[in-house]
């Protein structure tokens, strides 16, 4: 009897997921879908004038929607969903920084978004914006790296952190199954996202809706898995992007990688913080015009814990860059 009841519950949640996706898809995306070679990427723009801020998100994140209202008060801003996230299609190509940069430049060109650009890279996105600035230096007038990664330390991760990476990967696979079966959507419905990360509660529900929508889709978790499996390849690709002369770079360093909590109790927090310290030492050498902002309460998720610091960093570059 019990297996039959469980099967009926899973059938019901799977049907709920399918119907919810169909209803969501009846509404147009907030931005535009741009063809970048047989598949579409979603691009959302706001703000009126000034150099264009382009946000590249963390691994699995589409957190730029949380930052958009405040950045748009300063200058023009573009948020795009990397292939496989949000409203963007899957890409048939490997999820490496090199391919992501190729897609991003095609997207901006096809959409008619003229440089100069200020690039904001959150976590894994820092790889992508560094490589973009290296390939297209004439288009970039500054970068903000939010608790960014550096390949030297990433490629020499100690065993506990290597294990943590594959632990995360297993979580992505389980979440893929959970999204197919509608479990992730039910967790969203009962407020689990805000329970795990309480700071999400300070953002308007309308803003959070765009972010949480993506996490309910199976393609989101497939893409996260593809990106983390290609992380070492991306690390090797970005090795060439280490000398930016006098390019203005603001490096935001989180206070800790994880906030101590029930969810992080068994994670190797000290090893993660030691690795983060080494990476930030390297990131400060990217340019002779680098500045660091040290957060006081933020975890790795600066865009949730202290988003005002990212806005402050962007404002610093807008005020001090040569936009001609």
Q: What is the pLDDT of residues 164-212, one digit of tens each?
A: 899 999 999 999 999 999 999 999 999 888 888 888 888 888 888 888 9
3-state secondary structure of 82: coil
Pair 299, 255: CB distance under 8 Å: yes
In our burial notation (b when 16+ CB lie closer than 10 A, e otherwise), range 205-217 reads eeebebbbbbbbb
Banded model confidence at residue 135, pLDDT cuts 50, 70, 90? very high
**Alpha-carbon 69 to chain mean position:** 17
Residues 176 and 59: their CA atoms lie apart, in Å, by: 15
Q: How many CA atoms lie within 13 A of 260 on its CB side?
A: 1
- Residue 211 falls within a domain, yes or no? yes
Instruction: Give the residue numbers spanning the domain of 59.
Output: 28-320
**Predicted pLDDT of residue 322:** 63
Number of compact structural domains in the chain: 1
The 10s digit of each residue's pLDDT in 270-324 is 888 898 899 999 999 999 999 999 998 898 999 999 999 999 999 999 887 766 5
pLDDT at position 52? 95
Would 262 be classed as within a structural domain? yes
- Those residues whose C-beta lies under 8 Å from the C-beta of residue 9, and which sit 6 or more positions away, are none
In a domain, 8, yes or no: no
In a domain, 179, yes or no: yes
* CB 314 within 8 Å of CB 71: yes
In a domain, 102, yes or no: yes
- State phi, psi for 78 to the nearest 5 degrees: -120, 130
Indicate the pTM of the whole model: 0.93
Q: How far apart are CA 323 and CA 58, in angstroms?
A: 27
Residue 1 covered by a domain: no
Q: Cα-Cα-Cα-Cα dihedral of 63, 64, 70, 75, to 10°?
A: 170
| 82-96, 103-117, 257-271, 309-323: least confident range | 257-271
Q: Kindly report whether the peptide bond that precedes residue 8 is cis, defined as omega within 30 degrees of 0.
A: no
Strands 40-46 and 52-56: unpaired
Provide mean pLDDT across the span 74-89: 95
In a domain, 295, yes or no: yes
CA-based radius of gyration for the chain? 19
**Phi, psi for residue 83 in degrees, rounded to 5:** -50, 130
Q: Establish if 2 belongs to a structural domain.
A: no
In this structure, what CATH number is given to the domain that contains residue 307?
A: 3.40.50.1820
* CA dihedral for 30, 52, 307, 187, sign (positive or negative): positive
77, 70 in Cβ contact below 8 A? no
The model's pLDDT over 254-270, given as tens digits with 9 standing for 90+, comes to 988 877 776 666 678 78
């Amino acid at each position: 009897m019990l297996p039959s009841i469980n099967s009926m519950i899973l059938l019901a949640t799977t049907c709920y997921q399918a119907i919810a996706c169909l209803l969501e898809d009846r509404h147009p995306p907030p931005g535009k879908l741009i063809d970048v070679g047989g598949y579409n990427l979603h691009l959302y723009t706001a703000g009126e004038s000034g150099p264009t801020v382009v946000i590249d998100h963390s691994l699995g994140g589409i957190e730029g929607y949380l930052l958009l209202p405040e950045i748009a008060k300063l200058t023009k801003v573009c948020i795009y969903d990397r292939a496989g996230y949000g409203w963007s299609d899957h890409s048939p190509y490997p999820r490496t920084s090199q391919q992501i940069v190729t897609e991003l430049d095609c997207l901006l060109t096809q959409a008619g978004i003229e440089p100069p650009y200020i690039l904001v890279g959150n976590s894994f996105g820092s790889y992508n914006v560094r490589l973009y600035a290296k390939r297209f230096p004439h288009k970039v007038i500054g970068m903000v790296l939010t608790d960014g990664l550096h390949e030297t330390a990433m490629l020499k991760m100690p065993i506990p952190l290597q294990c943590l990476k594959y632990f995360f990967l297993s979580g992505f696979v389980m979440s893929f199954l959970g999204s197919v079966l509608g479990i992730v959507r039910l967790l969203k419905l009962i407020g689990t996202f805000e329970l795990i990360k309480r700071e999400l509660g300070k953002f308007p529900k309308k803003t959070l809706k765009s972010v949480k929508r993506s996490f309910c889709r199976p393609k989101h978790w497939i893409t996260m898995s593809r990106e983390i499996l290609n992380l070492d390849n991306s690390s090797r690709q970005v090795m060439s992007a280490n000398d930016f002369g006098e390019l203005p770079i603001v490096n935001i360093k989180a206070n800790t990688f994880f906030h101590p909590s029930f969810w992080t109790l068994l994670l190797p927090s000290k090893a993660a913080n030691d690795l983060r310290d080494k990476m930030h030492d390297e990131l400060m050498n990217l340019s002779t015009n680098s500045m660091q902002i040290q957060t006081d309460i933020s975890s790795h998720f600066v865009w949730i814990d202290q988003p005002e610091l990212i806005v402050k960093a962007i404002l610093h570059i807008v005020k001090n860059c040569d936009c001609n």
